[in-house]
Structure 1
Amino acid sequence: MILTRIRTCLALLCLAVSSHANAGATEWMPFTVDDGHILVDITMAGHPVKAILDTGAEYNGISHAFIKHYQPDLVRAGRTRIKGPFGEDIRDRYNAVDVKIFGVDLELDKLVDLDFGSSENALLLGAGFFDDFITQVDYPNQRIRLIDRDSINIAEYRNVRVEQDAKSYMLLVNVTLNKQEDVWLILDTGLNGGIMVERRIARNNNWLNGDFKTVTTDSVGVARDQDIESFLMPSVILGPYEVENVIVSTPVEGQDLHINTDVGAKEQTGTRIRGNKVHGLLGYDVLKHFVLTIDYERGYMHIGLPEDI
């Protein structure tokens, strides 16, 4: 259930965008949701496949399963250190990969060899890919479009507290958990749960000591897997909205949650970005209710409900 305080702002925003649509906005492009991930149809190295849109990744990746299955002629560009929520690894990197997405032919460089699914889900696009545009993601209607930044000033409509990491391009969103704790979380469309938070936050608020029933499961990361404890949180407040019964997860006792703020950097939760302390990730189980309009470069975001369009 979602409780709202503002219901007209999205309609005004979409009206402003529509007035510039011919000059500055792409057509809506459908996407599918697979295990919480946004998937769009693309062509890569001549093969019709899909791309995962992951605002929680500061790099772009190519699926190891795609490389193994299609054996494309790729230009190897050395190796790089990658880092996920549960650890890090060294992977190959490729340049000059032909991709067609949103009707545009591109040649992408620095694609990291990653394990993120089947050969069909071939490309991972991180937040930096969308830095030149305003991105509008309509989760309930499963569609996405790009808007020229000169067409509209999102600062006039923003209704969520957001900051941006200057190095990784990832957005940090301020969220209130269980009406107890204000935290800064990375906006992560690649997280198939609701919220991943460092264990200290959950422990200090007594969420793991009897307040909520927890379940231990295995979670898959880009570098390695790890056991996590999950529970349902009664209230999560994001901007002018409150979402009830959100899946919240935290690493098991003795494990760390590593926040992906810079490729190769040995950062962990608690790292300060622009003076804000980052405590976890904000994912699909919260975002799925909303239409998101995001200016990655300037660090602005608006959320609304689809019926207001």
Structure 2
Amino acid sequence: MKYAYLLILLLAPLRALAAVSEWVDFTLHNGHVYLPITVEGIDTHVLLDSGAQVHAINKAFIGKNNLDLSTGAKMRIQGVHDTEDRTTYNNVKVGLFGSEFELDKVVEFNLGHHSSGMLLGAGFFNPFIIQINYPEKKIRLLTRDSVDMNEASNVRSMDNRGNGMPIAEIGINGENFWFLVDTGSSSGIFMERRYASRAGLLDKVDGSESSRGVNSTGIQDVANADTVRFGPFEIADVKVSFPAPGETTNLESQFSETRSRIKGKRIVGIIGYGLFQYFLLTMDYKTGKIHVSLPPEK
């Protein structure tokens, strides 16, 4: 995949930022960002998912450590492929970024191996600006008084009418579309089939693959877009997936409450790690403002 830097704009406000946290190393696994965390005093790892509207705890982690958590009300969760009622827990003790706190309404999910204890959604980061340096695998949190994101933003983006999920406009083969920005997605670009057709991708399908959400699986067709524009960058030969003929999908995060609906702009899909992997991404969850750049040279 090749990228061309089209504009060098608005970088100065991001040169020297007063960070709430120091840069913290994270682990990338299948395109997902994981950080060290303690849950109920137990060392584990947390998945950061900017597209998730809920926090989640791994069922396998609960079982492995015989946790006796305070049960809350059931929550109906809409995944990529279907919907299920899920158990929630209250007063879950968490330690992260040098702070300790408790979380309520933490949803039980199957998050794979018990070494991954939790998922933190957008609600955790709403008070902050978050910077993720994907190539160097580092992350930090910033206060809003440290950078003016209205000035620094170089991606057409916005908050999604108060549901905590930033959305951004990208161009695919010259056609512009709005996408959910989801740091918890390992894919590059996932979009509705009819809009993939508008971008001229149906004639470029070179295979299919199985996609697993939190509730079920589905089949996706895969094609490569000739060009994708993301802020001031143009990227060539980008993988795009979309539902195979006859497949249906919910184009929201796989960790969404059913009462939450994407409003405002027409959202056609989700963008994730496959698009972000070359960049330093700065996001303000409250305003939806996004800045994308190449990491500074050492």
**Same-fold call, TM cutoff 0.5:** yes
1:151-166 alignment runs, 5 A limit? 151-166=146-161
The equivalent position to 2:171 in structure 1, one of 176, 181, 190, is 176
Partner Cα separation in structure 2 for residue 298 and residue 71 of structure 1 = 40
Partner SS for 2:67: coil
Task: Measure how far apart 1:14 and its partner are.
Answer: 3.1
One-letter identity of the residue aligned with 1:193: S
Unaligned runs of 5+ in 2: none
Query: Between Structure 1 and Structure 2, which shows a larger proportion of helix residues?
Result: 1
In structure 2, the partner of 1:58 is 53
Question: Does the Cα contact within 8 Å between 2:212 and 2:218 map onto a contact in 1?
Answer: yes
Q: What is the aligned partner in structure 2 of residue 221 from structure 1?
A: 213
Q: Does the alignment pair 1:237 with 2:226?
A: no
2:128 partner amino acid: F
Matches within 5 A, 1:190-205: 190-205=184-199
Q: Is the 8 A contact 1:198 1:256 kept in 2?
A: no
C-alpha distance in 2 between matches for 1:250 and 1:98: 38
Q: 1:192 & 1:183 partners in 2: Cα distance?
A: 20
| 1:52 and 1:123 in contact (8 A); partners too | yes
Question: Which secondary structure state, in structure 2, belongs to the residue aligned with residue 128 of structure 1?
Answer: helix
Task: Give the corresponding residue for 2:13.
Answer: 13
115, 124, 127: which one pairs with 1:132? 127
CA distance in 2, matches of 1:117, 1:155: 38
Q: Which consecutive residues of structure 1, in runs of 5 or more, have no partner in the other structure?
A: none
- Deviation per CA, 1:39-69: give whole Å up to 9, x if none: 0001111211100001111111111111121
Cα 1:308–1:296 shift into 2, 3 Å: farther
Q: Which residue of 2 aligns with 1:3?
A: 4
Deviations 1:243-296 (A, max 9, x none): 1121111111112221237612385xxx5x22x100000011110111011111
Please, what is the CA RMSD of the aligned residues? 1.7
- Asked if 1 retains the 8 angstrom alpha-carbon contact of 2:84 and 2:215, the reply is yes
- The residue number in structure 2 matching 1:112 is 107
Contact 1:60 1:125 in 2 (8 A): yes
| Contact in 1 for aligned 2:25/2:35 (Cα 8 Å) | yes
Q: What secondary structure sits across from 2:286 in the alignment?
A: coil
CA distance in 2, matches of 1:300, 1:203: 29
Tell me what 1:145 maps to: 140
For 1:73-88, list aligned pairs within 5 A: 73-88=68-83
Identity of aligned residues (%): 33
- Match for residue 293 of structure 1? 282
CA distance in 2, matches of 1:255, 1:265: 23
Q: 1:62–1:42: structure 2 CA closer, same or farther, 3 Å change rule?
A: same
Task: Check 1:157–1:205 CA distance in 2 against 1; reply closer, same or farther (3 A cut).
Answer: closer
For 1:51 and 1:148, locate their aligned partners in 2 and report how far apart those are by CA, in whole Å. Answer: 22
* C-alpha distance in 2 between matches for 1:8 and 1:265: 39
Amino acid in structure 1 at the alignment position of 2:154: N
TM-score normalised per structure 2: 0.94
List per-residue Cα deviations over 1:108-151 (Å, max 9, x = no partner): 11110111211111111111110000101110110000011122
How many corresponding residue pairs? 295
Instruction: Tell me, in whole angstroms, the C-alpha distance in 1 between the residues paired with 2:20 and 2:162.
Output: 27
- Residue 233 (structure 2) pairs with residue 278 (structure 1): no
Q: Paired residue for 1:27?
A: 22
1:43 corresponds in structure 2 to 38
- TM value normalised by structure 1: 0.91
Checking the alignment, whether the CA contact within 8 Å between 1:164 and 1:299 is kept in structure 2 is yes
Verify the 8 A CA contact 1:7 1:305 in the aligned structure 2: no
